[in-house]
Amino acid sequence: MKKIISSALICAMLASMTVTSFAETSVLSDNSATVASARSEDYLADYTDIKIEHTKIPGDDAVYFPLYIEKQNVKAAADVEMPEKIYLTDEGTDLANGKIDADDIKDFDELKLTVKITSGQNYVTATDLDEIDDVEAGEFDGKYAVILELEGYHEVDSINIKGTAKISKKTGTNLSEYDFNYKIDNTKNMVTVRENEVTGDNVKGIEVDGDECTIDYSEFEGNVVNFKNGVEYLFLEGEYFTFDVKLSNQGKLALKMDNDVNKAVSKRADADADLTFFNFLGNPTFDFTGTMTFVMPDEDMEYFIYKINKDNSLTPINAKLTDDGDAYEFKTRTLGSYVMSDVELETDAPAEDENDAPIVENGTAPETNGVVDEGNKNNPATGAEDFVGAAAAVAAVSAVCAGAVVLRRKED
């Protein structure tokens, strides 16, 4: 990727709250993107012609709004036939196939992005103006877009993320804006498990034998599983782990899990450290205490088990070596994120990197503990149902958050 500089300004003010003003609380993120390179004077387009496409491209924990230029605003040879929309990329200009390189756009460094979130802000962790690097975006992978990074949404029935994305000149002149409403419905592909029966669209990896249910994460790609009465035992299986727990009319659980590396944790370990991550994204809580077992990748090594907290600090887990000596186990009712390491790790939260992109936050996400809560179905981010009782306690609170401009440079 060619050079890109992103900056963000986060500022929020809460003063003399009422129920109405709480519902309208928004997050302001101010990002700029600059491509700094030695361009020729012969540009194919001007940055003032860039628009935000009014479409939502879902990705891996993100949603994208692509940037484009209408073909009549792009210089091209007379014999070149172009599609109606030309998308921005850093992969070279190919107008016939609807691509224009950012280096061929005059004053691309003057482009400024402002994103205002009015609903669902607790699930938006950052905004950016950058190339999409996400295979789940399909044909839009590698194209420039407004990016909303998301987290914490796996544990609620559904959410609506609303707001306005606006690109403008640095002087403030508006170029294009998009009033978006992005809905995530985790129950859309929900699986229901009954005694001797499993139904739904994402049943792959789920087996039911009488009152026992086994979920194999080498095949399971779903999230929400609804356990009905009659299912009394659950076994979760994946690479280097198992979890078994008793059930009794458990209901819905967000069971999405991955082994993605936590970069903030991994960079605190030695380069040759063996780290294995286990991330239960919905933080599911069970009615009964279960047994988590982490299998040792190398039986001749000693391993250390840590729980990863929200601030990326680590809590050591007093896991016991099994009788066979090939695994560690501990008891828990709630599954979170863990790391198994062959070296001891620093447990304090990592210092904030001045080169990291800023995080967009406003308030605290609802604590559902991984149990999909019907009460959060309409608008879990605003907290409207719970706010009335808390309004008196915060009515006189006001706070001003000072913003900081952070520059991040990427190079090939």
pLDDT reading at 238 higher than 70? yes
In the prediction, which pLDDT does 10 show? 35
Of 161, 175, 55, 33, the closest CA to residue 108 belongs to: 33
3-state secondary structure of 104: helix
Specify the CATH number for 191-341; select among 2.40.400, 2.60.220, 3.30.420, 2.60.40: 2.60.220
Structure tokens at 284: 């599911």
- pLDDT (tens digit per residue) in 191-218: 999 999 999 888 999 999 999 999 999 9
User: Average pLDDT in the 231-235 region?
Assistant: 97
In the prediction, which pLDDT does 349 show? 64
Q: Find the angle CA(377)-CA(379)-CA(384) to the nearest 5 degrees.
A: 120
- For the chain, how long is the longest CA-to-CA vector? 77
Helix (H) or strand (E) holding 392: helix 384-394
In the prediction, which pLDDT does 392 show? 29
Helix (H) or strand (E) holding 7: strand 4-7
- pLDDT (tens digit per residue) in 91-119: 999 999 999 999 999 999 889 999 999 99
E-assigned strands of 272-397? 275-280, 285-295, 304-308, 314-316, 320-321, 327-334, 337-341
User: Average pLDDT in the 306-331 region?
Assistant: 94
- pLDDT (tens digit per residue) in 19-62: 322 223 333 344 433 333 333 458 999 999 999 999 999 998 89
In the prediction, which pLDDT does 77 show? 84
Q: Find the angle CA(222)-CA(228)-CA(233) to the nearest 5 degrees.
A: 80
**What is the DSSP secondary structure assignment for residue 371, as one 8-state letter?**
B
Helix, strand, coil percentages for the chain (3-state, nearest 5): 10, 45, 45
User: Average pLDDT in the 251-264 region?
Assistant: 91
pLDDT reading at 402 higher than 50? no
pLDDT band for position 390 (cuts 50, 70, 90): very low
Please, which residues have CB within 8 angstroms of residue 398's CB and are 6 or more apart in sequence?
13, 14, 15, 16
pTM over 0.75: no
pLDDT reading at 261 higher than 70? yes
CB atoms within 10 A of CB 7: 20
Query: Tokens 């209408």 label which residue?
Result: 70
In the prediction, which pLDDT does 400 show? 24
Question: Which range among 237-241, 245-249, 262-266 shows the weakest confidence by mean pLDDT?
Answer: 262-266
CATH 2.60.220 domain locations along the chain: 191-341
In the prediction, which pLDDT does 380 show? 29
Are the C-beta atoms of residues 25 and 6 closer than 8 Å to each other? no
